[in-house]
Amino acid sequence: MSNLYSCSKDKVTPPDKEQVLPEKEKEDPPLPDVPDEPEGLLVSTEEELKTAIAQAAPGDLILMQDGNWKDLNIIFKGTGTPEKPITLRAQTGGQVVLSGNSSLRMSGEYLVVDGLHFKDGETSLGYLIQFRDEKHQHAHHSRITNIVVSEFNRTVDDGSDVWVNLFGTYNRVDHCYFHGKTSSGRIMTVWRSTDADDHHQIDHNHFKDVPVLGQNGAEAIGIGASNTSLSDSYTTIEYNIFENCNGEGELLSIKSGQNTIRYNTVIESQGSISLRHGNNNRVEGNFILGGQVRLTGGIRIMGEGHIIKNNYIQGLRGTRAALSLIEGLEDSPLHGYLQIKNVLIAGNTLVDNEVNMVIGDLYNVTSGQIMPVIYSLMKNNVIVGMNTMSNLIRVLDESTDMAYEDNVVHHGVLNITDEPGIRVEDPHLQIGADGLYHYEEDSPFKENIVGQPLDRSEVGPDWMNTP
């Protein structure tokens, strides 16, 4: 594994959330696979492409001829099957370039788009890739894979745009590379107009180089909105790299329930994984590597029933905490700050961060943000400060219903006294050649770190080496 930094992942006792919050009760239906055989119908003009799509049957493969397809708006409609998806593929991965005023829309079932490259253009629609067609008919069980979108930006005067727009259900975005978004708007949004489950999967993608845009709505990924936030999405974001994504203070904006954010690697990004609205989300096994870059962020928590487990957070600088437990707003509307309840924070490793954990973040009596964390459990976490003056756990509004078990803190200032569930002792973390800290073999915390950061070669299209 190469080093990512050198560019080579009465008082109430809280219940055990691992028992209270089950995983998904049933397995998701299989997503369509990309056919292995490169045989199919080769098309070289827009009219040939439209005809091929209109006539496509389950199992058909449409190959777009290599070259520059300018001002092409693809509407890919069809109905495949789990065993025989309909596939639209580049003749050679990355050699079909969509430029100018181009876009992709999909509707139907079991569709796959593979290997396209969007560059040297913009979309006038405000939505570059949509899992719905011009009549707002959605795609289901469909997939985009091995796609690159690079600097495909609208001008400031043209307004905001979103590169990937997920509608429908059971769709997948994988092994894509999203680079250099400078126009306002997210890279990707899961749109939720109803309370229905979504079951989307976003995996093995590389999100890279988003400058500071200085406005709300510039996240890498958003799931849902305030009005549907108390319903469940069941979207999974896993095995992705987010690198230099600095659009705004939120890297991921989660506004729905029952989502899983796991095994991602965040590199020097000035934004946090934000559980903004919604309940029962799981944030597990992520590596957040700040690289001593200012305004890098960790995980922000609001709402109920979340599990924050086995995350490794290192090298954050500035005022954004590695773990921020936001104070609830009294009588909060859906778009406000809902009180934290029944949250499990377990097995996380926080090391060399300027701000580690803040409990009651944004506490403000004047504005009514006075609802403390309740019925929650913090156990088996390790916090090692940046220096001896670092705040290890900063409490702005103390909760009488927060339980602590077997936590260890070291090398900093602890603002909690007389708490037997927090021990001040050296966890004997050792820095390795990879720049990360590791537990000794006999450490009781050695299971806290799951896996290792993703290497850039593990994400993005199979036809390119991500720079």
Residue 62 lies in a domain: yes
pLDDT in tens, 308-322: 999 999 999 999 999
What is the residue range of 357's domain? 4-458
pLDDT value of residue 11: 41
Residue 156 lies in a domain: yes
Q: At 238, which CATH number?
A: 2.160.20.10
CA dihedral 180, 247, 304, 20 (to 10 degrees): 30
**One-character DSSP codes across 366-422:** TTTB-B--BSEEEES-EEEESSTT-EEEEESS--TTEEEESEEEESSEE---S-TTE
Residue 353 lies in a domain: yes
pLDDT in tens, 213-256: 878 889 999 999 999 999 999 999 999 999 999 999 999 999 99
Which tokens hold the place of 213?
């845009």
Residue 464 lies in a domain: no
Of 141-145, 157-161, 337-341, the poorest mean pLDDT is in 157-161
Rounded alpha-carbon distances, angstroms, from residue 78 to 84, 115, 175, 383: 12, 19, 23, 52
Extended strands (E) in 186-286: 188-190, 201-203, 206-210, 221-223, 236-238, 241-245, 250-255, 260-262, 265-267, 272-277, 282-284
pLDDT value of residue 160: 86
Residue 95 lies in a domain: yes
Residue 466 lies in a domain: no
Residues 6+ apart with CB under 8 A from 138: 107, 131, 132, 167, 168, 169
Instruction: Tell me the C-alpha distance between 349 and 319, whole Å.
Output: 19
The mean pLDDT of 137-145, rounded to a whole number, is 99
Residue 467 lies in a domain: no
- Cβ neighbours of 401 (radius 10 Å): 16
87 neighbors 53 (Cβ within 8 angstroms): no
pLDDT in tens, 8-40: 333 444 445 444 444 444 455 566 665 555 479
pLDDT, mean over the chain = 92
Structural domain count, the chain: 1
Residue 162 lies in a domain: yes
